[in-house]
């Protein structure tokens, strides 16, 4: 037994060593640019809430020196300097923080002006369900926390699996329309939110052919006649032309999303399992009594 334990310990030690990042590190980011980090980043600016949460989940909250206006979790980041949002970035504030790296979305056009100002910029922007895990691993590599990233991915997948075990037992899985914006925008089945909706035990009325986050014709929703409507309150839904005849309204299956859960559902990051749990409780409360 002692020899087996020794081998396990040695294996773990070697695994950790193999996970250490070697710098200079060159990666291809989500803008298709080759970016080289000369050394392990010690001063980090994050301009994406999900990335902020991942950096902290990797144990590096104390290396964040600035975040975007919407990063609010964990509570620790609310005290950091704010550097604007996607449409109103404060580039001067980012440069003034003297970051070793700025982690940005592929949107927002920050890479060029920041690079011209001499700042290293990397776009890391998970959009699909699988990318939540691959981008977490990439951040682990960039920040020299590869082992922690593997553990984080395993934890998220474990949290999700525990919910799936419960929803698998659902007798009925309702057809569902999930509204993320009243214009209205919804979620396709291949988006990370669409995958969560399916795992929570519902059947998305939006076909994959409409894209990941499509703007939907309200007439399409009326014709699809979903058994469940999420993301809008009953009064609002009932006031829309033709919607009062939808099955979900007739049976009282129209549910707004609580603010905290809505925030988690919109962030492809480390709280994905918690978001799935909250969504599953909304769809199948009978499984959680």
Q: Does pLDDT of 5 surpass 90?
A: no
Q: How far is it, in rounded angstroms, from Cα 15 to Cα 24?
A: 21
Rounded to an integer, the average pLDDT of 7-29 is: 66
Length in residues, the chain: 289
Q: What pTM value is reported for the model?
A: 0.90
Percent of the chain with pLDDT over 90: 89
Separation of alpha carbons 118 and 154, rounded Å:
36
CA distance 247 to 243: 9
Average pLDDT of the residues in 25-52: 97
**pLDDT of 2 over the 90 cut:** no
User: For residue 87, what pLDDT is reported?
Assistant: 86
């Amino acid at each position: 037994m002692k020899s087996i334990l020794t081998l396990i310990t040695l294996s773990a030690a070697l695994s950790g060593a193999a996970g250490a990042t070697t710098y200079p590190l060159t990666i291809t980011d989500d803008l298709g640019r080759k970016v080289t980090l000369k050394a392990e980043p010690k001063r980090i600016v994050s301009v994406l809430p999900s990335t902020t949460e991942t950096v902290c989940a990797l144990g590096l909250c104390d290396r964040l020196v600035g975040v975007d206006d919407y990063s609010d979790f964990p509570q620790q980041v609310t005290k950091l300097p704010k550097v604007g949002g996607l449409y109103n970035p404060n580039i001067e504030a980012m440069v003034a923080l003297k970051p070793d790296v700025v982690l940005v979305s592929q949107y927002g056009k920050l890479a060029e002006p920041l690079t011209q100002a001499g700042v290293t910029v990397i776009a890391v922007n998970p959009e699909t369900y699988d990318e939540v895990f691959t981008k977490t691993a990439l951040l682990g590599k960039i920040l020299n926390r590869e082992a922690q990233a593997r553990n984080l991915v395993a934890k998220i997948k474990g949290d999700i699996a525990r919910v799936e075990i419960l929803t698998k037992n659902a007798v009925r899985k309702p057809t569902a329309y999930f509204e993320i914006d009243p214009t209205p925008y919804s979620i396709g089945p291949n988006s990370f939110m669409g995958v969560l909706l399916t795992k929570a035990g519902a059947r998305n009325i939006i076909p994959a052919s409409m894209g990941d986050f499509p703007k939907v014709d309200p007439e399409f929703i009326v014709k699809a006649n979903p058994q469940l409507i999420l993301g809008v309150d009953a009064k609002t839904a009932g006031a829309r032309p033709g919607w009062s005849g939808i099955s979900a309204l007739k049976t009282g299956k129209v549910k707004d999303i609580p603010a905290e859960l809505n925030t988690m559902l919109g962030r492809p990051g480390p709280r994905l399992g918690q978001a799935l749990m909250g969504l599953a409780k909304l769809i199948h409360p009978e499984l959680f009594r």
